[in-house]
Amino acid sequence: MMNLRRVVISGIGAVTPLGATMGVTWEGLLAGRSGIGPLTRFEATAFPCRIAGEARAFDPLLYLSKKAIRRHDRFIQFAVAAAEEAVADAGFSPAKEDSERIAVAIGTGRGGIETLERNVVASVIKGFKGLSPYLIPASLPNLAAGEVALRFGARGPLLCPSSACATGAQALGEGMRLIQRGSADLVLAGGSEAPLCATILGGYAAARALSCRNDDPTRASRPFDRDRDGFVLSEGSAVLVLEELTRALDRGARIYAELSGYGCTTDAYHPILPDPSGAGATRAIEAALKESGLTPGEIGHINAHGTGTIPNDRMETAAIRKALGPAAERVAVSATKSMTGHLLGASGALEAAITALALHHGIVPPTINLEHPDPACDLDYVPRQARELEAEAALSHAFGFGGINVVLAFRRYEELSHS
C-alpha cells in the first residue's frame, strides 16, 4: 500500500457576506453576526425572496485593474481575492517556488452565470452585436482556477470540480489527494460562487427552496430550527493553501490544522432531495474517519452542511447519529450558514476553513437563530453563542444536488504530532 504524505493547511483567504477577508469573517462568526440583508444586486421586487448574503465589503479594485474587472465575471474576481489573501497568510512567495509543484483546485457550481444572463438578455435585444467578446472566458467554470494559476504562476495540475453545494469541499479533498500521492507539494484549493442574479434566485425560489423572511433578513437562515422556511442564497469564495507537512515545517509555516480524511459518496436516490435515511452521508462520514484513523469518540466538533431546509437538516442529523453512535451526544455541531447564508459551490471550502480555524483557536462558532429546535434535530447545535472547545479532531460536511456527499476530516496540529 502506498505511503500517503501528510497534508496541512497553512493559509486561508475568503470573501463572504460577513467581510472581504477571512479575518473579518471569522470575527463576525464568533460574534454571531448575520451577513444576510436586502438584495441589491438587481431589482427583485417581483420575486418572493428578496434577501441574500451579498459580499458588500468586496472591492475588486484592490486586486484587479478596471480592464480586468470588465473581463472577469464576479466569481473569478472573488477567487482571485481569496487566493491573494491565502497566499499572503501562508507567508510564501510563489516566485521562489518550483511552479510545476504548485497545483490549483478551485471549483464552482454555477460559473459565470451573471455574465451568461447579461449576454443572453443583450443578444435577445441586439442579436449578435449584443454579445461580449469576454462572454466565453468570463463564464467558463474553470477560469477561476485558471486565473489564480496565472496570477501565481502555478504550473502543476489544475482542477475545477463542479458538484453543486459539495464543490468547494470536493476541491479540497481532490487537492489533498494530489499532495498525498506526490503530484504536487502545494495546492491552492477552494470554491467560488457569484449566483445573485435573477435566473438563479428565481430558479431556487420557483423550487420553493429559499427563505422568504424578507422583513427580517438577519433571522432568515435558521438551520435545525422548527420555524425555518428555506436557505438564503449567498455569494463569495474561500481558498485554502494545502501543503505537504515536511515542506511546511521546513519553511517555518504556521499550521492551522491537518487535513487528514476525505469521504465522498452518492445517494443515488433523487436529483434534488437527499436520502432521508442519511445512508450516503453516513458512509461519507465513515470513509473520512477511516482515512484519518479517527474514532467517533475523537470528534469534538462538526461544521454541519446545515442549510435550513427540512429534508437536509433532518437527514444530516440522522447521518451524524448513525456514523458516530453514542459519541454524537457529545459533539458540538455548528451550522455557520445561519450567519453566512449558502454560498453554493463555495460553501464547502468556507466551512472547511472555519473548521480548521475552530481547531486552531479552540473555539467553535454558534448556530444563530436556533430558537425552537426541530424535535427531529436533537443534537448539540451550539445555539446562539460561540463556545470554547479544545477538540482534537473535527469534521466538515458538504452535501449537494445529485446526491453527492463530501466529508472532510481534520486533526488539530501540534508540532509533537509530526512523525
Q: What is the dihedral of CA 336, 322, 407, 236, to 10 degrees?
A: -20
Torsion of CA 24, 30, 34, 35, to 10 degrees: 20
How long a stretch of residues is the chain? 419
Of 3-7, 19-23, 168-172, 395-399, minimum mean pLDDT range: 3-7
Q: Which of 118, 310, 327 is nearest to 231 (CA)?
A: 310
Those residues whose C-beta lies under 8 Å from the C-beta of residue 67, and which sit 6 or more positions away, are none
Among candidate residues 152, 96, 151, 394, the one with its CA nearest the CA of residue 256: 394
> How much is the pLDDT for 419?
46
Residue ranges and CATH numbers for the domains of the chain are: 7-250 (3.40.47.10), 262-409 (3.40.47.10)
Helix or strand holding residue 179 (H, E): helix 167-180
- pLDDT tens digits along 316-347: 999 999 999 999 999 999 999 999 999 999 99
Which residue in the list 197, 342, 377, 397 is annotated as catalytic?
342
Catalytic residue among 72, 305, 377, 397: 305
Q: Are 335 and 29 in contact (CB under 8 A)?
A: no
pLDDT value of residue 96: 79
Whether 232 and 221 have beta carbons less than 8 Å apart is answered as yes
Whether the predicted pLDDT of 310 surpasses 70: yes
pLDDT at 95: 76
- Terminal C-alpha separation, the chain: 19
Side chain identity, residue 181: R
Which helix (H) or strand (E) element contains residue 143? Answer: helix 143-152
Percent of residues, the chain, with pLDDT higher than 70? 98
pLDDT of 114 > 60? The answer is yes
Residue range 197-224: mean pLDDT, rounded: 97
Mark whether 372 is an active-site residue: no
Q: What is the dihedral of CA 24, 236, 219, 49, to 10 degrees?
A: 160
Q: Among residues 49, 160, 165, 377, which one is catalytic?
A: 165
Set of cell numbers at residue 101: 509543484
Contact between residue 397 and residue 316 where contact means Cβ atoms under 8 Å apart = yes
Answer for the pair 89, 172: CB distance below 8 angstroms, yes or no.
Answer: no
**Does residue 305 have an active-site annotation?**
yes
- Which grid coordinates belong to 225? 430550527
Q: 98-116 as b/e, with b when 16 or more CB fall inside 10 Å?
A: eeebbbbbbbbbbbbbbbb
In the chain, the amino acid numbered 152 is F
pLDDT of residue 2: 66
Torsion of CA 81, 82, 83, 84, to 10 degrees: 50
Q: Which three cell numbers stand for residue 202?
A: 428565481
Instruction: State the Cα–Cα distance between residues 136 and 15, nearest whole angstrom.
Output: 24
Residue 94: band (very low, low, confident or very high) from pLDDT cuts 50, 70, 90: confident
Is 212 catalytic? The answer is no
Q: How far is CA 93 from the centre of its chain?
A: 25
* Confidence at 415, pLDDT banded by 50, 70, 90: low
Residue 101 has pLDDT above 90, yes or no: yes
Non-local CB neighbours of 415 within 8 Å, separated by 6+ positions: none
For residues 405 and 72, give the distance between their C-alpha atoms in angstroms, rounded to a whole number: 30
pLDDT tens for residues 229-271?
Answer: 999 999 999 999 999 999 999 999 999 999 999 999 999 999 9
Largest CA distance in the chain: 65
Q: What is the mean pLDDT of the chain?
A: 96
Half-sphere exposure of 56 (CA within 13 A, CB side): 12
* Model confidence pLDDT, tens digit, residues 165-184: 999 999 999 999 999 999 99
pTM above 0.85, yes or no: yes
